[in-house]
Amino acid sequence: MSTASELARSGPLPLPRICCLDLDTFFVSVERVLDPSLEGKPVVVGGRPGSRGVVTAASYEVRRLGVKSGMSLVEAGKLAPDAIYLPTRGDTYGKYAERVREIARRYSPTVVAASIDEMFLDLSGCERLYGCTGDDDGDTAIERAVIALTAAIDDELGLPSSAGLATSKVMAKVASSLAKPRG
Please provide the distance, in angstroms rounded to a whole number, between the alpha carbons at the two ends of the chain.
Answer: 41
Long-range contacts at 68-75 (CB < 8 A, ≥ 24 apart): 73/44, 73/46, 73/47, 73/48, 73/49, 74/49, 74/50
CB-count exposure of residue 163 (10 Å: 0-12, 13-18, 19+): buried
Rounded to whole angstroms, the Cα distance separating 163 from 23 reads 9
> CB-hemisphere CA count at 13 Å for 43?
22
pTM: 0.86
Any bridge partners for residue 119, and if so which? Answer: 21, 113
Q: DSSP code of 14?
A: P
Which positions are catalytic?
Answer: 118
pLDDT in tens, the chain (183 residues): 556 566 556 655 567 889 999 998 999 999 999 999 999 999 999 999 888 899 999 999 999 999 999 999 999 999 999 999 999 998 999 999 999 999 999 999 999 999 999 999 999 888 888 888 887 787 888 899 999 999 999 999 999 999 999 999 999 999 999 878 775
